[in-house]
Chains A and B, each alone.
Chain A
Amino acid sequence: MKAFSELLDRLVFTPRRSVKLRLIQNYFSHTEDPDRGWALAALTGQLRFPGAKPAIIRALTETRIDPVLFRWSYDYVGDLAETVALVWPAQPGINHEPRLAEVADLLQGASRSEVPGLLEAWLDGLDPTGRWALLKLITGGLRVGVSERLAKTAVAAFGNQEVATIEELWHGLEPPYLDLFSWLEGRGDPPAVDESAAFRPLMLSHAVEEAELEQLDLESFVAEWKWDGIRAQLVARNGESRLFSRNGEDISPSFPDLLAEVDFDAVLDGELLVAFNGHVASFNDLQQRLGRKAPSAKQFRDYPAHLKVYDLLVEAGEDLRPLPFIERRRRLERWFARLQPERMDLSDIVPIMDVEQLIRLRREARATGVEGLMLKRASSPYLAGRPKGHWFKFKRDPHTADAVLMYAQRGHGRRSSYYSDYTFGAWNEEGALVPIGKAYSGFTDAELKRLDKWVRDNTVDRFGPVRAVKPGLVLEVAFDAVQPSKRHKSGIALRFPRIARIRWDKPIAEAEQLETLRNLIS
């Protein structure tokens, strides 16, 4: 546990990616199995300990320290794991420091009533950094600035492999990854790829702006609509079929209606949408289906899942990824014409004439379900990751609205002393401000300082970490769409809102009317 907690502690304070990679690789080289495998599982977010709830940790801590002092400490620190790690009174003489593998093993099998006993003994045996790492680990979400992909990149570099190779194997691997490490150290064979339903790492695109379009040789590109759903990969082989999100997360349980229709042998790349008889519904409708472990019959009926297919990676066991895009597309069209699978259709090819036409198409691409255009180089093979110069996304411009700052909340992480999360509103028919959304990005550090000061100077009320401010500051907010919302009093919600500009100059009376925004609901 010591090496793992020191690793996390260093990662938290390390801003640079290259140094993070070095720290993780260094950890893998100096740590034994199975601990390092459990660390990899933690860094890639594979560990879940449903029995270890924050409430249990809080209750346990209050048996050891005065609840008032604990509450004030928590208010001050703002993070439960860190607070408990720091206030936990050391027990002189107790020094059994658990191994990471011991923690993972015991906790996975533990019932809810066994968790406090295990935790208490471990907290007594660890130093403050160890306690912090333990609590971060079991409450989920390490938040040490390491993405799943960065962790995989580090383990790949540790064994001199490409990260795509690791990603391809990944689905068939289980913590603590003994076979993976054995192979990476040259002691064993590569782990077998689970052919039946392995995730193939996706090919991703770069954003392109109008000005850059001129530099592209458009004749060598093929255009498609950019669909406003979620990217998905459908893998079907030997009668088994699975649906993966763009990160390789298995989302099959949420979409049995789509998978029920599958009776082929192929790997498809496409956009997951909700559609009625081929008519694509809004992203808001799709959201009703995301993250549901066991969707109801009503949800199947009201929000039927649909796959817009745009690539064919494997056909009957044959890997098509090395083929040029245009050749894969031909194979896809023939395959689709032959099978005509239910709940699926092909993403149309949009003929390209010139730059002006693309700009016009993008501007007009306000139709439901479309958020711009994709440009794919005809000769490109299917390459994992985000290779340069192959695929481009040409997204439509966001909407903007002038909104009035209403509430501010203290941020997290490096922003925990700043009021950095802003709730803003628009004027309703009665001339009152109602909240329409929340944003916490789109401004510089210098602007954040000024906003933070403004909030402190104009506070009229406080609710825990939230301050209500006197209406007086207009924020120009950019967003991708407006959706109906039952959660907001305004009845609407903005999609991907971010701060475009801070209008220190603008009077609040000139801010947006709610009705204008309501008219944008797609």
Chain B
Amino acid sequence: MKREAHPENWLQITPQGLYCRPGDFFIDPHRPVERAVITHGHADHARPDHHRVLATAETLAIIQTRYGDRAGHSFQALKYGESIELGETRVRLVPAGHVLGSAQVVVEWGGWRVVVSGDYKRRRDPTCAPFEVVPCDVFVTEATFALPVFRHPPDAEEIHRLLHSVSVFPERSHLVGVYALGKAQRVIRLLREAGWDRPLFIHGALRPLCELYEALGVGLGELRVATEARGEDLAGEILLAPPSALADRWSRRFADPLPAVASGWMRVRQRARQRNVELPLIISDHADWQELTRTLEEVQAPEVWVTHGSEEALIHWCRLRGIRGRALSLIGRGEEEQEEVV
């Protein structure tokens, strides 16, 4: 392991995004590039119009559903754990536990191993494969919830709070704001696991990805498009929609709607109140503080690069433990996540 082969000399921020020089590819670039390795299908990681796209089969399917003709020119699917050579580097994808198809990118060159984890979480998710720990020399981590105030409760408790509210206010329609990719399907599966077997009513925008999840083997039970039902018939029912639709005219047709949002940001009351949420559900697809710090301990990387979120706090935590931490500012990340993705 030569010092001059240190990853900071060959894995760098460029105007297009994170670039691996010896492999001649970008990871989650935010502008069109010749060759992109994509960690997962969220819009701030998977952009349209790249030439060659490498990702898991599920992520490729998601990108194609979202972008259609603009998804890319050619696609290469890689199974979890399968490794290939890209330029002088060896690359493999391992599960990140974030959403269906999400992967960490493991890159090896010059005796160094870097893991770019994309977005991840450590708790169980019935819609995707669990995060896999890969010990490495440099770990690139997100920091969306990198403050000790963020400790997500068990998701079953949050689903129970939703069902309890439905029983206390049976005359109201419960509108749950969820991100269309990942969160929607996870909340649906959690509701099914909690025994809610009534039809669930979804916003039209959620339909294509719900259908794709079904096709990829994630059963969601009976779903109906909410606008095809009469508003007054939806009292006591659970509806799912993108968070932006909650404050939109779309929501006015339903019986005395009770706005709920499923997001890690709901942990902080004032955040929830600012968005006029009456029932905040703390359900996140991102690692909370404990999951982040536990992960840094387990991958045992002497060096950690921190992207989008509260980088300072996580770097401070690293410093207290003798880990070298540095901030990696990726353009275009975070803003959107702040409000929607989580």
Q: Is the CB of A86 within 8 A of B274?
A: no
Asked if B273 is at the interface (CB within 8 A of a chain A CB), the reply is: yes
Asked if B80 is at the interface (CB within 8 A of a chain A CB), the reply is: no
Q: Quick one: given A13-B278, A13-B280, A66-B320, are A79 and B270 in contact (CB under 8 Å)?
A: yes
Q: Is the CB of A65 within 8 A of B148?
A: yes
Whole-angstrom distance between the Cβ of B318 and the nearest chain A Cβ = 12
Asked if A472 is at the interface (CB within 8 A of a chain B CB), the reply is: no
Asked if A414 is at the interface (CB within 8 A of a chain B CB), the reply is: yes
Contacts of A68 in B (CB 8 A): 316
* Interface CB pairs A-B, < 8 A, 23: A12-B273, A13-B269, A13-B280, A15-B276, A68-B316, A70-B148, A72-B147, A72-B310, A73-B149, A76-B149, A76-B268, A82-B269, A83-B149, A86-B149, A86-B151, A86-B268, A87-B148, A87-B149, A128-B153, A132-B269, A413-B273, A416-B274, A417-B271
Contact with A along B115-154 (1 / 0, CB 8 A): 0000000000000000000000000000000011111010
Q: Is the CB of A73 within 8 A of B147?
A: yes
Contacts of A413 in B (CB 8 A): 270, 273
Contacts of A414 in B (CB 8 A): 270, 273-274, 276
Can you name 12 extra interface pairs (CB under 8 A) apart from A13-B278, A69-B147, A86-B149? A12-B273, A14-B278, A70-B148, A73-B147, A76-B149, A76-B268, A79-B269, A86-B151, A86-B268, A87-B149, A413-B270, A414-B270
Name the residue in A70, A78, A416 with the highest tally of chain B Cβ atoms < 10 Å from its Cβ.
A416
Closest B residue by C-beta to A132: B269
Where the two chains meet, the residues of B that have a C-beta atom closer than 8 Å to any C-beta of A are 147-151, 153, 267-274, 276-280, 310, 312-313, 316-317, 320
Closest A residue by C-beta to B312: A72
Report how far A70 CA is from B316 CA in the complex, Å: 12
Contacts of B278 in A (CB 8 A): 13-15
Asked if A193 is at the interface (CB within 8 A of a chain B CB), the reply is: no
Asked if A290 is at the interface (CB within 8 A of a chain B CB), the reply is: no
Q: Quick one: given A13-B278, A13-B280, A86-B267, are A69 and B273 in contact (CB under 8 Å)?
A: no
Q: Is the CB of A416 within 8 A of B148?
A: no
Where the two chains meet, the residues of A that have a C-beta atom closer than 8 Å to any C-beta of B are 12-15, 65-66, 68-70, 72-73, 76-79, 82-83, 86-87, 128, 132, 413-417
Residue of B270, B313, B316 near A78 (CB, 8 A) is B270
Contacts of B268 in A (CB 8 A): 76-77, 82, 86
Residue of B148, B276, B279, B313 near A86 (CB, 8 A) is B148
Contacts of A73 in B (CB 8 A): 147-149, 313
Contacts of B148 in A (CB 8 A): 65, 69-70, 73, 86-87
Report how far A63 CA is from B320 CA in the complex, Å: 16
Report how far A463 CA is from B20 CA in the complex, Å: 41
Contacts of A417 in B (CB 8 A): 270-271, 274
Closest B residue by C-beta to A127: B153
Q: Is the CB of A13 within 8 A of B277?
A: yes
Contacts of A87 in B (CB 8 A): 148-149
Report how far A78 CA is from B271 CA in the complex, Å: 11
Q: Is the CB of B274 within 8 A of A77?
A: no
Contacts of A15 in B (CB 8 A): 276, 278
Contacts of A65 in B (CB 8 A): 148
Whole-angstrom distance between the Cβ of B171 and the nearest chain A Cβ = 11
